[in-house]
């Protein structure tokens, strides 16, 4: 009997944790896929491939050539293009795709959220008067702040923003988290931050900044998620393992 071949589209902590959970099960042969945007840690639990597939068609060809039985989209909730491609490719090849998505953050008492739908709208929402802004949106779209040079920006990302931001008042912090509420509150205080711009990524790894803003009464400009691609979706690794077991009951491994 052959092993069940699973392609994980990754780039998140949850994707890595799922790969770890599947690595020890010898029924599964798992390949972990990364876009290659950040430096890749060397200690991956399963084999890794890096780089785009060449759109939905490229991904479909990759699935066919690799004789995959299941694809798991465990990419970031704001990585919508790869998720659309995953939907299209799995339909074309006729294999199932599950999505692993952390739930959105929900506003709690004490939160001062202004909800927007794009980064551009978030920057406009800061208004004409100079403000001190914590821009915690990653590096890919940080340059959108260049239309509003009147503000001070504290920009945090895993890798440096390239090319450097063309802004008069900007301070870069390179860090990949996870963070805690005390250190986030100190950061807000040290830079006298009065607005936080963030995506509604969900999950615990980066939630401390939301808690720090709540504690200090700071406005959060919250960028909402785009509608998710239509796939069977679960929110935890445990639920994903159950869904996989359900699809491939332990007594069944595919024939070769
Ligand atoms: N967007 C965010 O805020 C964010 C935050 C944290 C982590 N990430 C991670 O960073 C990666 C890129 O995010 P993005 O927002 O640039 O994605 P995206 O806009 O949805 O995807 C752009 C292109 O990158 C390639 N790609 C994306 N994820 C891939 C993967 N896991 N394996 C192979 N190719 C992939 C695909 O290229 P082809 O069309 O050539 O296949 C895709 O069309 C994702 O893996 C995501 O999980 C994103």
Q: Which CATH number covers residue 175? A: 3.40.50.720
Q: Write out the residue range of the structural domain in which residue 241 sits.
A: 4-103+227-247
Task: Say yes or no: 218 and 234 in one domain.
Answer: no
Centroid of ligand 1 to alpha carbon of 36 (angstroms)? 8
> Which residue's alpha carbon is at the smallest distance from atom 6 of ligand 1?
76
67 assigned to some structural domain? yes
253 assigned to some structural domain? no
Residue 96 CA: distances (Å) to CA of 20, 42, 75, 245: 21, 29, 16, 13
Centroid of ligand 1 to alpha carbon of 78 (angstroms)? 9
Instruction: Using pLDDT thresholds of 50, 70 and 90, give the confidence band for residue 253.
Output: low
146 assigned to some structural domain? yes
pLDDT tens sequence across 165-216: 999 999 999 988 889 999 999 999 999 999 999 999 999 889 999 999 999 9
Q: DSSP secondary-structure letter at 173?
A: E
Centroid of ligand 1 to alpha carbon of 67 (angstroms)? 22
Q: Is 200 in the pocket of ligand 1 (CB under 6 A)?
A: no
Instruction: Using pLDDT thresholds of 50, 70 and 90, give the confidence band for residue 256.
Output: very low
> Which residue's alpha carbon is at the smallest distance from atom 13 of ligand 1?
79
pLDDT of residue 207: 96
**Residues 159-163, mean pLDDT to the nearest whole number:** 90
How many domains, the chain? 2
| Higher pLDDT, residue 254 or 104 | 104
Q: What is the dihedral of CA 156, 159, 160, 161, to 10 degrees?
A: -80
Give this prediction's pTM: 0.89
Which residue of 37, 38, 82 sits with most ligand 1 atoms within 8 Å of its CB, as the best mutation to test the pocket?
Answer: 82
Task: Say yes or no: 124 and 52 in one domain.
Answer: no
């Amino acid at each position: 009997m052959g092993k069940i071949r699973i392609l994980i589209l990754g780039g998140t902590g949850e994707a890595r944790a799922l790969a770890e959970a599947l690595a020890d099960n010898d029924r599964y042969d798992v390949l972990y896929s990364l876009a290659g945007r950040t430096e890749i840690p060397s200690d991956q639990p399963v084999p890794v491939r890096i780089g785009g597939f060449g759109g939905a068609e490229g991904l479909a060809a990759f699935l066919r050539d690799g004789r995959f039985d299941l694809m798991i989209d465990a990419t970031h909730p704001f990585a919508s293009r790869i998720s659309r491609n995953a939907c299209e490719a799995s339909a074309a090849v006729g294999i199932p795709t599950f999505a692993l998505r952390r739930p959105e953050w929900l506003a709690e008492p004490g939160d001062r959220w202004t909800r927007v739908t794009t980064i551009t709208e978030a920057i406009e929402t800061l208004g004409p008067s100079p403000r001190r802004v914590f821009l915690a949106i990653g590096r890919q779209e940080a340059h959108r702040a260049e239309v509003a040079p009147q503000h001070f920006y504290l920009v945090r990302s895993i890798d440096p923003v390239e090319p450097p931001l063309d802004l008069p008042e900007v301070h870069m912090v390179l860090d990949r988290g996870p963070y805690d509420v005390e250190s986030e509150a100190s950061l807000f205080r040290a830079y006298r931050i009065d607005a936080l711009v963030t995506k509604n990524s969900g999950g615990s790894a980066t939630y401390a900044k939301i808690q720090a803003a709540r504690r200090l009464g700071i406005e959060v400009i919250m960028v909402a998620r785009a509608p998710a691609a239509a796939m069977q979706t679960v929110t935890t690794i445990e639920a994903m393992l159950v869904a996989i077991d359900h699809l491939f009951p332990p007594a069944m491994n595919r024939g070769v």
